[in-house]
Structure formats: C-alpha cells, structure tokens
Amino acid sequence: MTFKLPDLPYAYDALQPYMSAETLEFHHDKHHNAYVTTGNKLLEGSELAGKSLEEIVKGSYGKNQPLFNNAGQHYNHLHFWNWMKPNGGGAAPAAIAKKIEEDIGSFDKFKEDFIQAGATQFGSGWAWLAVKNGKLEIMKTPNGESPLVHGATPILGVDVWEHSYYIDYRNRRPDYLKAFIENLVNWEYVEKLYGEAV
C-alpha cells in the first residue's frame, strides 16, 4: 500500500481555543506529511511493500527502524485526527464508561491516569487507552511506538511530541492533556475502535 496524507476531518480552526489553526497546519501539513513522504520512499522495494499499514508497522518494528518510525507515526496520526472533534470531551459512551469503571476504577481515575501517562512520557511519545487481553489499559510509548507493537489495540491516543502542543501551550504539557481529554476527545470514534477491538 502507499501512504496517503488524509484531509483533516474538520477545518483548521475548528478545535480552537484548545488547539489552534497554526498548530494543526504545522502538525498535519508539515509533520504528518513528512512521515507519509519519507515512509513511501522507505517502503518502496522493501519486503513490506503491498502489506496493510498495520502489517507494515508490526513487520518493521525492531527490524527496520527508519521505516517503522514513519509508518508508526503515519498510523498514529491517521487515528489522532479522528480522536478529536469540535465540542468533544465530556462523558464516555455507556459501554466504554462501564468498561473503564471495571478495568481502571472510575472515569475520573481514567482521566487522571491518562493525563499522568502523557505528562510523564519522557521526551517525545504518546499516551494511550488500549485493549489488551480483553481489558482496558492505560499505556505510554516513546517516539512513534503504539500499543499495536505491544500486543494491544489502541482505542484512544494523544500525541505528546512538542510539535503537537508547543505553539499553544509552550512547556505546559499537562494543560494540553487536560484540554484534550475534557474538550477534544471524539468518543464516538473511540467507541467505534473499541467495538472493532473486542
């Protein structure tokens, strides 16, 4: 398969004031586009050409680091744009809320632990809510890694690379994470991924 940069599912200014048009323009048009362009070059002629994106991510992990970095970040960002929406956040859908309560303790504990995972990921990386062995788990990964390469399926993720928040929040990563979880999360998309994962 060839990597393609998708259009954002909303206007550049649709997530303000929590994420600015400037951030989205840089993050989507420059950073994500670079993963797509570089990823396609690295994929050409490799034994993973023609595989699905998930197979490329898993197949290059630990074997072809440059390809993995770009394919992993492409995979992460394809979901990241859909994990956000204007007027997002709020309560999780009933089935997920119930599962969060069962596996994590409470919705408030989930929010706290998710923000904590993102805030304490040293350097670049991601914080996740993932399904592993039928249970919901909060995880964090460095760089372009995702739960996909750790035997889990991500259903919600937040990018904590500096380019995803520095224009708007400077060094206040916890404030960005709080804004993300309270005002941007597209729970319908999380619900869709959860349904597919189980």
Report if residue 7 sits inside a domain: no
Q: Is residue 183 part of a domain?
A: yes
* Residue 39 maps to a domain: yes
State CA 18 to chain mean position distance. Answer: 17
**Count of domains for the chain:** 2
pLDDT in tens, 111-128: 999 999 999 999 999 999
**Overall average pLDDT of the 171-183 stretch:** 98
Q: Give residue-wise pLDDT tens across range 53-68.
A: 999 999 999 999 999 9
Selection from 156, 157, 125, 165 nearest residue 20 by Cα: 165
For residues 100 and 193, membership in a common domain is answered with yes
CB 103 within 8 A of CB 194: no
- Report if residue 9 sits inside a domain: no
What percent of the chain has a predicted confidence (pLDDT) above 90?
Answer: 99
In the 8-state DSSP scheme, what is residue 146?
-
Cβ neighbors of 13 (< 8 A, separation 6 or more) are: 20, 21
Q: Which residues are annotated as a binding site for Mn(2+)?
A: 27, 77, 159, 163
pLDDT grade for 101, boundaries at 50, 70 and 90:
very high
CATH number at residue 139: 3.55.40.20
Helix segments in 25-172, DSSP class H: 33-43, 53-60, 65-82, 94-104, 107-120, 166-169
Q: Alpha-carbon distance 87 to 99, whole Å?
A: 23
Average pLDDT of the chain is 98
Indicate whether 98 pLDDT > 90. Answer: yes
> What average pLDDT does this structure show over 165-181?
98
The answer to whether residue 15 sits within a structural domain is no
Is residue 2 one of the residues assigned to a domain? Answer: no
Does pTM surpass 0.95?
A: yes
pLDDT band with cut points at 50, 70 and 90 for residue 1: confident
Q: Which of 82, 106, 133 is the last residue of a domain?
A: 82
The beta strands (E) that lie in 109-187 are given as 125-132, 135-142, 153-159
Is the residue at 133 inside a domain?
yes
For residues 48 and 111, state if they share a domain: no
- Nearest CA to 170 out of 31, 20, 35 is that of 20
75 and 47, same domain (yes or no) = yes
Q: Quick one: average pLDDT of 36-50? A: 97
Residue type, 49: A
Using the predicted structure, report yes or no on whether residue 104 has a pLDDT greater than 90: yes
Domain that holds residue 26: 21-82
Distance CA 114, CA 133 (A): 19
Q: Are residues 104 and 187 in the same domain?
A: yes
Going from the C-alpha of 152 to that of each of 82, 160, 177, the distances in angstroms are 19, 20, 22
Tell me how crowded residue 25 is: count the other CB atoms within 10 A of its CB: 14
Query: Residue 171: is its pLDDT beyond 90?
Result: yes
pLDDT band at 194 (very low <50, low <70, confident <90, very high): very high
105 shares its domain with 127? yes
∠ CA 17-25-37, rounded to 5°: 145
